[in-house]
Structure 1
């Protein structure tokens, strides 16, 4: 395969985009197109393409997403693909899970893992499409891998698109194979130029959030990739509500139409019929004869209502009536009694000191018991100042001062007379 890949061109634009391509063996027409003179003529007549930018409404809507809303979008669903005459052709499975991924500095952060897979047979031609990737809390793409395969009887076709966000830029690698022709393109987008970009995986989660909110952002213009891998405008429009039949049950759906406005091609529109909890009941691509339909109505998930905190009446604890509590109380009481008795036997001076204090207290019967106790136990303090020989009329406080008393400054020594000569 490496022998078939040859470099085609390298293009750098003023807006910071860099595109590199590779293709299979060049035919005569391709070789002529890459002649220096032809190349110069081609660029002189080519129009300068101004890259699109998302507007403020789209960026504000993405920044308004809450973590609780994204958690409501975590579930799996399966739809059946039908032809225009009602024949089943395949299945479409969409799965959104909570996950964690490492950022550029290696720190684990919250993210969403999205995986969608479809497989069908149309006119005896096998078609398969898969996309999976990780999204941030603002639905910014961290990594995404998509693959499309169509097995034609004459020339099978395979296409892969990889998106990877690294070093403040998004790198897109497109791999296309038709028979033996292989083409690889690498495009780099600076992250500050693709604010408001909605990838395929982000679109699946964004639709579920819109279903919960029952609204779409007005006049919002997002960014998306068209079928050729070019940045284009993407818009959402609410088409109102409708009642449809799902598994012999009537269900109210909210219809959202997404349109990718390709600059060089025809706009591509898809209509999504969404249940109130975000499940996809029906998907129709405008202009396509087939559609995807939900055949089994799931149990609708309702929004959790915050209940008021219960109030419990405070009841008195009658622990004496509890045999276990009362037994623990008696055990603890006996343990403390033995501990106190042991301490008094080991320190008889404590018993004598307390007996003297109680004796003086009962004899004097002071009105201020605390001050009397402080005066009684004051002489036992190690840092108690000595009692002056002459007591003043103002008795000092028996309590220890909060701040230590300043030490007296030493008296200066008298200067000695100089020796006489």
Structure 2
């Protein structure tokens, strides 16, 4: 999210994430990673249900935008799950940019569906990336659309879910790191599966960075650090370093090699007292809200069509009135409509008397 280009040099250990590909071997998550996922308790997930709100700043301290993550309990196709929504909005070199991730995740961190949108709006040139993945018939189906200027490229791949055990995506990684931070310990050899920019299956590693002190809201706090490395088949790996407060709230987040940092300005307890500015929600880009809108739209269309079928005289009545208007072409349409439909009002049943019945 609001990433800066990394150097071409591949860090030591990056090859470990892609070794075996040339030999046709299938990558797998480590036993430690699978064990961690299967050990998640409902009480732990309950502690993860809260919002995070950070600001994005440049190396020189300039305010570039905002970053937020929310986690809540939800249902998808009648299946209980977690709904995660992460969003960054801002500008780099006065060019608007942002990223939105919405994911439906099971209680053992299996991704049911995820929608990813990234954009950079430059003068006379823009970049727009959209990626949607969803489980369907035992497969993870992924559709990606990349638009650069006027050119659009589409990609589509699918993988058997049996080959994606321990998958961690852009969305589920936020929930995974909250869980690790709340336990305050990352097991060694935490290697999961993920997808790179080319939609190849790659390794992603999580490891501890230990404790350090960070000033938040005028107070010096101990924060717990985690590092996430996402390997790539064709490009250099990407490394993120995140630090968390004791209650699991994200305190800082930075991509190694980038001059941009995301950090919390106030403690969550302080935010609850004074409140904080909410990031405007663009509902068309929110997968959950857009899905509800489309479902409701289809429901209303079906209901209206059913009503018209049951009352065919409505179409004839409206058709006659429109023909009447087009012939008369009146200036005051409302007055003419009142006079036109007045005879129909006289055909209504008499209203019941409002007087109280005599006893």
TM range (shorter): 0.5 to 0.7
- State how far apart, in whole Å, the 2-side matches of 1:180 and 1:50 are: 38
Deviations 1:311-352 (A, max 9, x none): xxxxxxxxxxxxxxxxxxxxxxxxxxxxxxxxxxxxxxxxxx
Structure with greater Cα Rg = 1
- State how far apart, in whole Å, the 2-side matches of 1:280 and 1:296 are: 11
Of residues 55, 59, 62, the one that matches 1:87 is 62
Which runs of 5 or more structure 1 residues have no equivalent in the other structure? Answer: 1-45, 103-107, 301-421
- In the other structure, the counterpart of 2:140 is 170
Q: Confirm or deny that 1:288 pairs with 2:263.
A: no
Q: Check whether the contact 2:196–2:233 (CA below 8 A) recurs between aligned residues.
A: no
- In the other structure, the counterpart of 2:40 is 65
- In the other structure, the counterpart of 2:171 is 201
- State how far apart, in whole Å, the 2-side matches of 1:68 and 1:273 are: 22
Q: Check whether the contact 1:169–1:188 (CA below 8 A) recurs between aligned residues.
A: yes
Deviations 1:203-239 (A, max 9, x none): 1111111111001121121011223322210111101
- In the other structure, the counterpart of 1:98 is 73
- In the other structure, the counterpart of 2:94 is 124
* Range 245-254 or range 291-300, more displaced: 291-300
How far residue 49 of structure 1 moved from its aligned partner, in angstroms, is: 4.8
How far residue 283 of structure 1 moved from its aligned partner, in angstroms, is: 0.3
* Range 148-157 or range 47-56, more displaced: 47-56
Q: Check whether the contact 1:208–1:277 (CA below 8 A) recurs between aligned residues.
A: no
Count of aligned positions: 250
Which runs of 5 or more structure 2 residues have no equivalent in the other structure? Answer: 1-20, 271-359
Deviations 1:275-303 (A, max 9, x none): 11110000011000010010011129xxx
CA RMSD for the aligned pairs? 1.5
- State how far apart, in whole Å, the 1-side matches of 2:187 and 2:233 are: 22
Q: TM-score of the superposition, structure 1-length normalised?
A: 0.58
Higher relative contact order (CA 8 A, sep 6+): 2
- State how far apart, in whole Å, the 2-side matches of 1:252 and 1:172 are: 40
- State how far apart, in whole Å, the 1-side matches of 2:186 and 2:139 are: 28
Q: Check whether the contact 2:190–2:207 (CA below 8 A) recurs between aligned residues.
A: no
- In the other structure, the counterpart of 1:226 is 196
- In the other structure, the counterpart of 2:244 is 274
How far residue 199 of structure 1 moved from its aligned partner, in angstroms, is: 1.2
- State how far apart, in whole Å, the 2-side matches of 1:146 and 1:76 are: 19
Q: Measured at CA, do residues 139 and 47 of structure 1 come closer, stay the same or move farther in structure 2, by a change above 3 Å?
A: closer
Q: Check whether the contact 2:229–2:240 (CA below 8 A) recurs between aligned residues.
A: yes
| Counterpart secondary structure, 1:198 | coil
| Counterpart secondary structure, 1:207 | helix
Q: Measured at CA, do residues 291 and 49 of structure 1 come closer, stay the same or move farther in structure 2, by a change above 3 Å?
A: farther
- In the other structure, the counterpart of 2:216 is 246
- In the other structure, the counterpart of 1:14 is none
Q: Confirm or deny that 1:261 pairs with 2:231.
A: yes
